[in-house]
Chains A and B, each alone.
Chain A
Amino acid sequence: MKSRLHRAAALSLLSALVIHTPAKADIEGLTIHGFADTYYTSTSQQNSPSGNTGFKLGNLDLYIAPSFTDHIRALMEDVVEFDDWYPPGAYNGQPSIDIERLQIGYVVSNELTVWIGRFHTPYGYWNTAYHHGAQLQPTVMRPQFVAFEDHGGILPAHMDGIWATGHDVLGPGRITYDLYLGNGQRILDGALDMQNEGNADSHTAAGGRFGYEFRGGPVDSLWVGVHAFQEQVDNFVNGAITAQTNVKVAGGFFHWTPGDWELMGEYYGFDNRAHDGVGPSHSSTAWYAEADYTFFGRITPLARIERDSLSQTDGYFQYLQGGKSYTRDLIGARYDLTPQTALKLDADHTDATRNGGQSYHEMHFQVAVRF
């Protein structure tokens, strides 16, 4: 409840700033943009954490990006959502408000911008490319293992800290880079918590993403790169620490749009070890690959496979609600009714029986808009 009050207070403050800021010509970007979606889900999963079959409200995402001076700008994003999946029992059909991003940046040069605040953790492609922008992403649902923290995700989708990002021309394309430091995550009631109110256990998360984006030639638009991060994650049950795990992740990603094709994939390899150093390290992997093709500029059939093999003797995955191995095969189609309005249909089969879960089918139909 306290957290909710803080969120509401912060939103009120943000709204007041937006509404009452004098219309100075040198403050640009105060137009409110956003995304909204609503969808229908049919699932054969019993006691699904995402709720029952039926119509659902997705997210109402609002963001502003004001520039204060030639070098200082901010990005503020709030989301009203109706579907917190975790911790268990969190879903009550009532809306909640999350400050998704509140980051203030200094543009040092064309090659470097430094942000401080809460931002989307820069790993892989999906998390920073689409995030809550449902209308932008090709499918209705994110790959399960890159889901948000309160939707069973196993990666920190958000980070409170400092982030240096940029790009520079190199050869026929450009290099891209991201480096960040932030509050380490902890596991509360089975979900990752990014410690918005301070780093209570003084564990720091650190990571980076490096890529190369080709411009021109046979692989024009191909962005390929590597990512890595590490942190200590403690699991809390009723305020007591029950496990401490050093989490190390390394992997790679690519995104490519040759003509009307869009191809993408991400891989994460985990090498986790108990913080006390007793016992072996635990290897786990998670990856997805997706392909779609757009006909007539608006009809896009697509397919995706997801594979998750997570060690259940690992203190990280053992306590995460979403830390179970699974495989998922998904097919779908997207129809862009207008450039701002997408109709999407996904159908998938998920097999999570390896760690005692269920095998089930799902279908999602979504209407998503941006404005």
Chain B
Amino acid sequence: MNHPVNNVRYALMAAILAISAMPQLSRADIYVIANAATKLTADDIKLIYTGDKELVGSIKIKPLDNHSAQSEFLAKVLQLNSNRYDSLWTMKSFRDGLTPPATKSSDAEVLAYVEATPGAIGYVTTEPPAGVVVVKKF
């Protein structure tokens, strides 16, 4: 049977570990990537994901959400939570007829789509291979 003092010690250690791990979670890198033929700037990212920029040249921009990294992206890049982001696109769709970003489930799916699709922009959590351009790392 464990001594009560030991139990308290283990609990404190677990709490410290949990707290120290939390900032690591929120420090995951976000790489915003675009199709290699799509010229976008870092200033465009927020405009695109809030529906304020639709075209690059004469090509329609096709933004993607990455389900596995969406909360991180929203917090770091747009400073929004998922509810507000969802509401924003509901209003954009209802008022302006805009189509919300399609959602992919993983970095691999986002990479494949962005590489193959002119106008595509997305975000991943690991440094992407050649074939796409990094618009900005957050």
Q: Which residues of B contact A110 (CB under 8 A)?
A: 52-55
B93 within 8 A of A: yes
Could you tell me how many residues of chain B have their Cβ less than 8 Å away from some Cβ of chain A?
Answer: 20
A71 CA to B87 CA in the complex, in Å?
A: 25
A9 within 8 A of B: no
A10 within 8 A of B: no
A133 CA to B96 CA in the complex, in Å?
A: 13
Contact of B91 among A65, A103, A136 (CB under 8 A): A136
A128 within 8 A of B: yes
Q: Which residue of A lies closest to B62 (CB)?
A: A28
Q: Which residue of A lies closest to B43 (CB)?
A: A169
Q: Is the interface of B mostly helix, strand, loop or mixed?
A: mixed
Residues 11-51 of A, flagged 1 when their CB comes within 8 A of B and 0 if not, give: 00000000000000000110001000000000000000000
Residues 99-116 of B, flagged 1 when their CB comes within 8 A of A and 0 if not, give: 100000000000000000
Could you tell me how many residues of chain A have their Cβ less than 8 Å away from some Cβ of chain B?
Answer: 27
Whether A128 contacts B87 in the complex (CB less than 8 A), given A67-B60, A70-B58, comes out as: no
B27 within 8 A of A: no
Whether A370 contacts B90 in the complex (CB less than 8 A), given A70-B55, A70-B58, comes out as: yes
Nearest-Cβ distance from residue B81 to partner chain A, whole angstroms: 9
Q: Which residues of A contact B59 (CB under 8 A)?
A: 70
A133 CA to B90 CA in the complex, in Å?
A: 10
Contact of B93 among A65, A131, A297 (CB under 8 A): A65
Q: Which residues of B contact A103 (CB under 8 A)?
A: 97
Residue picked from A128, A339, A370, most chain B C-beta under 10 Å = A339
B86 within 8 A of A: yes
Asked whether, in the complex, the Cβ of B99 is within 8 Å of the Cβ of A28, the reply is yes
A209 CA to B58 CA in the complex, in Å?
A: 27
Asked whether, in the complex, the Cβ of A129 is within 8 Å of the Cβ of B91, the reply is yes
A107 CA to B83 CA in the complex, in Å?
A: 28
A109 CA to B87 CA in the complex, in Å?
A: 25
Nearest-Cβ distance from residue A167 to partner chain B, whole angstroms: 7
Interface residues of A (CB under 8 A from B): 28-29, 33, 63, 65, 67, 70-71, 73-75, 103, 105, 107, 109-110, 113, 128-129, 131, 133, 136, 167, 174, 297, 339, 370
Going nearest first, the 4 A-B pairs with the smallest beta carbon separation are: A70-B60, A75-B97, A65-B97, A29-B99
